[in-house]
Amino acid sequence: MALAIDTIKVLVGSVIVLNLIPLLIWWERKGAAYIQDRRGPNRANILGIKLGGFIHSLADVLKLLFKEDIIPSKAHRFIYLMAPVIVLVVAISVAAVIPFAAPLSIGGYALTFQMADVNVGILYILAIASLGVYGVMLAGWSSGSGYSLFGGLRASAQMISYEVAMGLALVGVILYAGTIRLDEMVSLQGAEIWNWYFVRQPMAFILFLVALFAETNRNPFDLPEGESELVAGYHTEYSSMKFALFFMAEYVHIVVGSMILVSLFFGGWQIPFLATEDLHKYMPLILKISLPAAAFILITGGAKLFGRTRKFGWGDLRDYEPAVGGAVMVLTGIAIAAVAASGVLCILPDWFLSVSAALLQFSIFLAKTLFFCWFFIWVRWTLPRFRYDQLMTLGWKVMVPLALINILVTAVIIGL
């Protein structure tokens, strides 16, 4: 039984992380377009249906699946093929210790919403995350290309530099929490925002956030992929689905990094000013209020969307996209309203209310995570790339000393 539940948790957790990838790809394209005063992807379609450009992600998958798979003649074949797999597997593995909601007790069984409940959560994250550099370095070396090798060298030096600052930044948080278990850190922060560690440890939060950008190789720290200098860096010689694995790994790093940031500094699954005990106590009232409100929003929003049908006059099936979306929203709203009006909310069992509370906590956790995912996208299309010497200077001469000072000040405050 325990093995089956653990297997299900691993599968569900991995699916949650992986299913956010197409959303972030679409989000990045649209976000970049609106930042640059463009419309973004709006050409790919299925029978005229474009879904606001979301079909482009499906088109990319099909393109990469059927694209010619080239292996350079000078490449070390086995390592060349394994490198993108290592990067993606490491990125997903880091999410194993992240708690998505508070533990539940159903039928005498304690259910935790973690893929792996280990007592060295922070050490596990730092240890596994550091393995990602091996995949990048091996990709650069095994490709047999000078550009790829330089990209791998840059990635290794960059990750070592910023992992030092990242680890030191977390020491202040560990001093406050008195534990390295991630689930306990989330519980200790509580529902009061002023107890969250981004308030108690603002310097640690800033240092960790900056180091996270460097760890994910995102602008302004994407020197390992600097196309103006290295063509595409460590994955220059990769094509087809092998390139797609690197591409997916970058977005998995963003998702998992945002989850860690939320868990460490923003209360994780904690709902602001609503403790877990109060959430379970008032869950029937929350359902009675939220379901009719959700039904009203869906019905009115769907009706307005339905009213936009044929407004633009494209002359093809695009004219009917608002009608399809509006109909789905209205029907969903009617179904929710019927459930709310049926009186079934008054006879819900305790286990259902507990599961509903956990789903609400997961929704809050996901909302916080998506906010920081958008922040990654926003920064990428706002700030220019650093020079490599600036990158290393910032890491060793600015961030590491600041992290050491933060540890000293935190220790003195706790001691006093």
> Does 98 share its domain with 225?
yes
C-beta of residue 318 within 8 angstroms of C-beta of residue 50: yes
Q: Which amino acid, residue 66?
A: F
What pLDDT shows up at residue 71?
A: 80
What pLDDT shows up at residue 304?
A: 80
> Does 159 share its domain with 238?
yes
> Does 140 share its domain with 201?
yes
What pLDDT shows up at residue 36?
A: 84
> Does 175 share its domain with 302?
no
Cα(215)–Cα(211) distance, rounded to whole angstroms? Answer: 6
> Does 214 share its domain with 343?
no
What are 289-342's pLDDT values in tens digits?
888 888 888 888 888 877 766 555 666 666 677 777 778 888 888 988 888 887
CA 233-371-53 angle, to 5 degrees, is 70
Phi and psi angles of residue 22, each rounded to the nearest 5 degrees, phi first: -60, -35
Taking 90 as the threshold, does the pLDDT of residue 265 lie above it? yes
CA distances from 117 to 63, 94, 103, 131, 393 (A): 39, 13, 11, 20, 38
> Does 133 share its domain with 245?
yes
Which range of residues forms the domain containing residue 402?
Answer: 71-104+117-270+355-415
Report the C-alpha dihedral over residues 131, 135, 141, 144, rounded to 10 degrees: 180
Least confident among 22-31, 41-50, 78-87, 386-395: 41-50
Q: Is residue 242, in this structure, part of any structural domain at all?
A: yes
For residues 80 and 232, which has the higher predicted lDDT (pLDDT)? 80
DSSP state of 46: B
CA distances from 63 to 46, 57, 87, 243 (A): 15, 10, 22, 12
% of residues, the chain, pLDDT over 70? 93
Helices then strands, each counted (H, E), the chain: 17, 2
Q: How many domains does the chain have?
A: 2
What are 214-258's pLDDT values in tens digits?
888 787 877 766 666 666 677 777 878 888 888 888 889 899 999
Cα 362 to the chain's mean position, in Å?
13
Cα(178)–Cα(173) distance, rounded to whole angstroms? Answer: 8
